[in-house]
Structure formats: C-alpha cells, structure tokens
Structure 1
Amino acid sequence: MSGTGTVGGSPGSSRRITVDNETTRPFTSGIAQLNHVAAGQAAKATPLAAFPLHGRNLDFFTPVEKVLLMFATAVIETSTVVEQAFGPGLLVDLTGVAQRDVTYDVDHGWGPTKPNWTTPVDSLSLLTPLLIQQDRSLPASA
C-alpha cells in the first residue's frame, strides 16, 4: 500500500508534531521513542501512542515530559498498552528539569505526593485521562 502525506512541526508550536494524511485511505499514526539496548545492538523505535488517521485528516501530537511510575507483578513488555493502574503509582512532571527525587515504600506508597510536580495515582485508576491530554489550544473537535 502506498500513501502520501507529510509529517512536520506546526507554526507557533516548536514541540507539536503534525501528521497529514493526503490520501483517502485510513492509516494509523503515532509517535515512538528510541529504546536503547545493550552495547553493540541497534536502538529500536518503541511505539508510545498510536491513533487512527482517516483520509484527508490531520493528527496532532505534542509530547510532554511526564513519566508514570508504577510496579506490576507480571512481566509487561515495552510498548504494551495498559489502560488501568496495576497498583499505586506516581505521575511525575519533568518539564524543564533533568531529574526529580521520589521515594517508594511498599506499605506507604510513593512520595512526595504534595509538590505541584507529582500526581498520585490510585490502584485501578484509568490511565488514559492521565497520559493522553487534549490540547487546550485546539477546538474540542480537532
């Protein structure tokens, strides 16, 4: 299958990625991150998010610098879609900083939970509203 489209930045937003499907065929578009592996092996692109992209439409992506810390008792492969928290977690905002200091205690959970750069996540919480955010500068239908 062949397709035509463009991928690039958007005027006025240095971080926004646009994917323009100039065909009448549906595609899946998304973003990936290089996953560094052992020395001597090639880095692999690991999908972070994927969404339908219908013909003659645009998808916008603006990566944010946040990470969700959460433990699981089962082995979860990188890029596996997880919709619900396995246990308590902590969403950490890394915007503008290289690192944050957090703690974990098996009985008391994650800390700190009071700074404006953390959001506690309860067991069984739905993760999509935390990790996929509507761009407030776009109309709701965009």
Structure 2
Amino acid sequence: MSTTYTLTITMDDTTVNDLLNSGYYLYAYKAVQAANANGGAPLVWFQTQTISENTVITWTESYEAYTSTETSFTDGTVINASASYPINLGQELQVNSVAGTGTVVNSSDASVISILNQTSTQFTCGISQSVQGSAGSQLCALPLYGNNLDTITPVEQVMVVFQTEQVDTGSVVYQCYAPSLLVNMTGMTAATISYDINNNWSGNTEGWCTQYPAATDITPILVQSS
C-alpha cells in the first residue's frame, strides 16, 4: 500500500480573505532528482483557488512515466503528454515508437524510474504523481534524446507559493514571482506550515523548510542532479 503524505497550510482570516479577494492561486511543485537534469524544467504540479484557514495538500506514491513530442519549450509552455503509463520505482518505460509509446518492464535499479528511448526520435519525458486523489500531473520535463536513457527519482520535497498569475498544471515555470517555501518531508508523512500575506511563510526551526524570495530560479531546486 502506497504512503499518503499531507501538507497543511494554516492562515488567519485576514490572510485568507485578502488572498481570495485579490484572486490569488496556491501553486505546488514537487522535486525530482534526474541523471539528465541539464535542460530540464519544473512543471506546475498542483494549483487551486480553494483556500481556507487550513488548506491541505495530499499526495501518494502513485506515479506515471510520460513522453511528449513537444521538445522545444519556454516559460509558460504546457507540456502535453503524448503517452503515459503507470510505473513504480524499479521499473523502466521502453519507448519504441515515434509516437512516444512503449512498454513498462522491470529494471535492475530499484531506486529510480527509468525511461529508455529505443528510437532515434527526440522526446520530452518525465513523471507524474497523484495529488488530491487525482491521477496527478507532471512534475518535470526532461530531454530524452534518441537511444538514450533518463533516470528519475521522486523526492519528498514540495515547494508552495501564492501568486495572482494563472498558470495551468503541467506548465513550465522557471521562476516564482512571489516568496516560496520548500518543505522537505523526507522521513515525514505529515507537516504543518503557516502563511501570512504580509510576513510570508513560516515553518519549523529544525531545518526542513527553506524560504526563497520572489524571482528565484527554482529549476536547480526542483530538478536536482542525481
């Protein structure tokens, strides 16, 4: 049975009302480690305008590997999956057609999700993860060159940010234009943080939260070299 994780964001009435009245969205990103992190991009994993004093994000260890024929993207590009398959750590998606389709098989490395391109066609690839009880959306976009192998390890680190800009899930985002918080939930299944619209984020004092100012390049934070 897969583990369920819960991140709770607490806010007071004033902050909740100000966020709702000003049209803010809550965005969440999920970190990965990748052998081919160079050229990779983080994608919006989750977004909502359903905000309350206790806003909860819940996810499970349920993954899919995807390919996309979109190989050129910039900030704001939505990465649409051409093919997607349920997959676990220790498995490999073997891509065997120019459409990006393939077959999932067991692999020799139980610590990673592998995507092997058996064609000479370049793709974009990555993994998706279930969130809020849905099938989930993509976490990252990585270049998958012809006859090459990408390996990806999901990391229990979640970045959250409130912004007024509307960005769809699955969109490439290189910078957050508001203060963000990275929550490292490695070894934890539940955590609570707080947010104030004027004083920004606060969490623990033990080092599992890291604040980043507006305009930070989030790419190396969320697409880490393995």
TM-score (norm 1): 0.77
The structure with the largest strand share of the pair is: 2
1:125 aligns with 2:220: no
SS in 2 for 1:101: strand
Structure 1 residues 2-13: aligned runs within 5 Å: 7=104, 11-12=108-109
CA spacing shift, 1:11–1:4, aligned 2, 3 Å: same
Stretches of structure 1 that go unaligned for 5 or more consecutive residues are 38-42, 136-142
Q: Distance in 2 between matches of 1:78 and 1:5?
A: 24
1:24 aligns with 2:115: no
Which amino acid counterpart does residue 48 of structure 1 have in structure 2?
Answer: L
Over aligned residue pairs, what C-alpha RMSD do you find?
2.3
SS in 1 for 2:210: strand
Structure 1 residues 47-66: aligned runs within 5 Å: 47-66=138-157
Q: Distance in 1 between matches of 2:100 and 2:164?
A: 42
Question: Paired residue for 1:79?
Answer: 170
Q: Distance in 2 between matches of 1:27 and 1:82?
A: 19
TM-score (norm 2): 0.51
Deviations 1:8-61 (A, max 9, x none): 56535x331111112222222211123557xxxxx4452221222111111010
Tell me if the contact between 1:71 and 1:86 (Cα under 8 Å) persists in the aligned partners.
no
Structure 1 residues 86-101: aligned runs within 5 Å: 86-101=177-192
Q: Distance in 2 between matches of 1:101 and 1:59?
A: 34
Q: Distance in 2 between matches of 1:56 and 1:126?
A: 30
Paired-residue identity, %: 37
**Count of matched residue positions in the alignment of Structure 1 and Structure 2:** 129
Q: Distance in 2 between matches of 1:81 and 1:10?
A: 29
SS in 2 for 1:130: helix
Question: Paired residue for 1:34?
Answer: 130
